[in-house]
Chains A and B, each alone.
Chain A
């Protein structure tokens, strides 16, 4: 991982892209990084396209602008491929991660000629198999950590468990499902 990583999340209101960006900032912070996690705010509209951002760096982050030339893009909802220019500014030495049931080959033609690496994960399958409900952000969080090489898997899982223990202190029954979702996602992303 280079010492300054920029990630852009494309999702729809209500899918948890913002939460995923904040969780990613959180877990990267635990490993001693300088972090930023922020959504692009507007009126709250369930289902409308939203964008969230992460900066993760070894040095102090001063910029507060949106991210226009990310190394990585995460697409939480594949229907956005048609609605939003998700690869805009995306660096070719970077990668795009897409939540889809479809094989990669079917997705690539929709990426406007993006020449960098393309990763996919079926977050729905992972989520239903582990959490029992569809929460795309948990599998995608694990997948982007792996794709972007933000930290090693062991550290990631350890930090996430401690984060979940804190976050879900009042409903510990959901912790195992979420942990399994992360573990499975690390295997499923391709």
Chain B
């Protein structure tokens, strides 16, 4: 039986983690993710979980400890934001290359500088090539649901890769809103026991983790790692299908909102999708054919399916909540445009940088984006394809 509640995104993720009852949770606090380990520490102190909760001296160490625990055979995770993720950089690659299916509850926050504690995606986008699975949420419900599904994806035998469950700092992490929680027993059963094949604490078969790979082996090792990523899309879909049976809530690689006959589309990630949906509903009432593609799985990038979903649009605005400093846009823009190119799309495409450092996104802003796309179609010219939204100039 689902339970209606009202929770902040951080509290929702902490509750998902209590229900998952992982083996090891090392953490170091950083705004806006601090509440996740904070709530969890109280669960641990009150005996609601069996988890070894380790308050640790840095993010470099929290990720190292999570890696060590995972290699030992434990289901482990940590949580962080922004500079904390940057401080884990080295370990992110180690977790992925060692094929350790641990999780990271990431609460997206801008990277310094200028120093800023509010939301953008520069932290996780910077880590996009580290070999982690990345899944993003629009709201508290999705953050909770994604966390519940996380270990099923990362621990899948054909995947075995670490997973980052991202939500927007403050916007969802600190906003209290309605949510439906699953029963503890349902989550426990859904997530199941973690049964690694090889692990350090197995006395039957000692093993070495992370051996040096000389040039003769390194490239084969990386290719082997890529093979795990290739299975992620299908596993994400399979886990989502099972989750739907449990919760009634539907998930995919992305959400296509009113895309059926859309001529103009926005592609984006995270909480701003809500404002975009409201804008779409307003415009649809006026008969405008507009839609949204909200990316859930960003790594690996489901390029073919995204191009397929965009095949009938005449103009698309790809919205990046992070700069790429390529002089032509951000990381989502680069990936979507490459996907469109490979699919021989003839749609006009612009890449819009928005929402940096917590810059608010209004429904009116998104209506303006759709109006700009109309102008592009009418003039048959994308004009400047690298744009900023919500900037004073």
Chain A residues packing against B (C-beta within 8 Å): 22, 25-26, 29, 34-39, 41-43, 60-66, 68
Cβ B176 vs Cβ A64 within 8 A: no
Within 8 Å CB of A68, what residues of B? 362
CA A42 to CA B358, docked complex, whole Å: 10
Cβ A37 vs Cβ B175 within 8 A: yes
Given contacts A29-B6, A62-B278, A68-B362, contact A38 B176 (CB under 8 A): yes
CA A62 to CA B275, docked complex, whole Å: 7
CA A27 to CA B178, docked complex, whole Å: 12
Q: Would you give the shortest CB distance from B289 to chain A, in whole angstroms?
A: 20
CA A41 to CA B271, docked complex, whole Å: 16
Q: Would you give the shortest CB distance from B167 to chain A, in whole angstroms?
A: 11
Q: Would you give the shortest CB distance from A19 to chain B, in whole angstroms?
A: 11
Within 8 Å CB of A60, what residues of B? 178
Interface string of B30-74 (1 = CB under 8 A from A): 001000000000000000000000000000000000000000000
Other contacts beyond A37-B175, A38-B175, A42-B117: 13, CB < 8 A: A29-B178, A34-B177, A35-B178, A36-B176, A38-B174, A41-B117, A41-B118, A41-B174, A43-B117, A62-B274, A63-B274, A65-B360, A65-B361
Closest 4 CB pairs of A and B: A38-B175, A62-B274, A29-B6, A37-B176
Given contacts A25-B6, A29-B6, contact A64 B117 (CB under 8 A): no
CA A39 to CA B278, docked complex, whole Å: 21
Given contacts A26-B6, A35-B6, A41-B118, contact A61 B363 (CB under 8 A): no
Within 8 Å CB of B275, what residues of A? 62-65
Cβ A65 vs Cβ B178 within 8 A: no
B139 contacts chain A at the CB level, 8 A cutoff: yes
Q: Would you give the shortest CB distance from B331 to chain A, in whole angstroms?
A: 22
**Contacting residue for B174 out of A25, A35, A39, A63, CB 8 A:** A39
Within 8 Å CB of A43, what residues of B? 117
B277 contacts chain A at the CB level, 8 A cutoff: yes
Chain B residues packing against A (C-beta within 8 Å): 6, 32, 117-118, 139, 168, 170-172, 174-178, 271-272, 274-275, 277-278, 358, 360-363
Q: Would you give the shortest CB distance from B54 to chain A, in whole angstroms?
A: 26
Chain B residue nearest in CB terms to A57: B178
CA A36 to CA B277, docked complex, whole Å: 17
Cβ B6 vs Cβ A64 within 8 A: no
Q: Would you give the shortest CB distance from A157 to chain B, in whole angstroms?
A: 20
A-B contact pairs, 28 of them (CB 8 A): A25-B6, A34-B177, A35-B176, A35-B178, A36-B176, A36-B177, A38-B176, A41-B117, A41-B118, A41-B170, A42-B118, A60-B178, A61-B177, A62-B139, A62-B275, A62-B277, A62-B278, A63-B275, A63-B363, A64-B168, A64-B172, A64-B175, A64-B271, A64-B272, A64-B274, A64-B275, A65-B363, A68-B362
Chain A residue nearest in CB terms to B170: A41
**Contacting residue for B171 out of A34, A37, A61, A64, CB 8 A:** A64
Cβ A34 vs Cβ B278 within 8 A: no
CA A39 to CA B32, docked complex, whole Å: 13
**Contacting residue for A34 out of B175, B178, B271, B360, CB 8 A:** B178
Cβ A35 vs Cβ B274 within 8 A: no
Within 8 Å CB of A34, what residues of B? 177-178
CA A161 to CA B358, docked complex, whole Å: 36
CA A52 to CA B135, docked complex, whole Å: 29
Chain A residue nearest in CB terms to B363: A63
Chain B residue nearest in CB terms to A22: B176
Within 8 Å CB of B32, what residues of A? 41
Q: Would you give the shortest CB distance from B388 to chain A, in whole angstroms?
A: 18
Within 8 Å CB of A35, what residues of B? 6, 176-178
CA A60 to CA B177, docked complex, whole Å: 10
Cβ B362 vs Cβ A65 within 8 A: yes
Cβ A25 vs Cβ B278 within 8 A: no
Within 8 Å CB of A63, what residues of B? 274-275, 278, 363
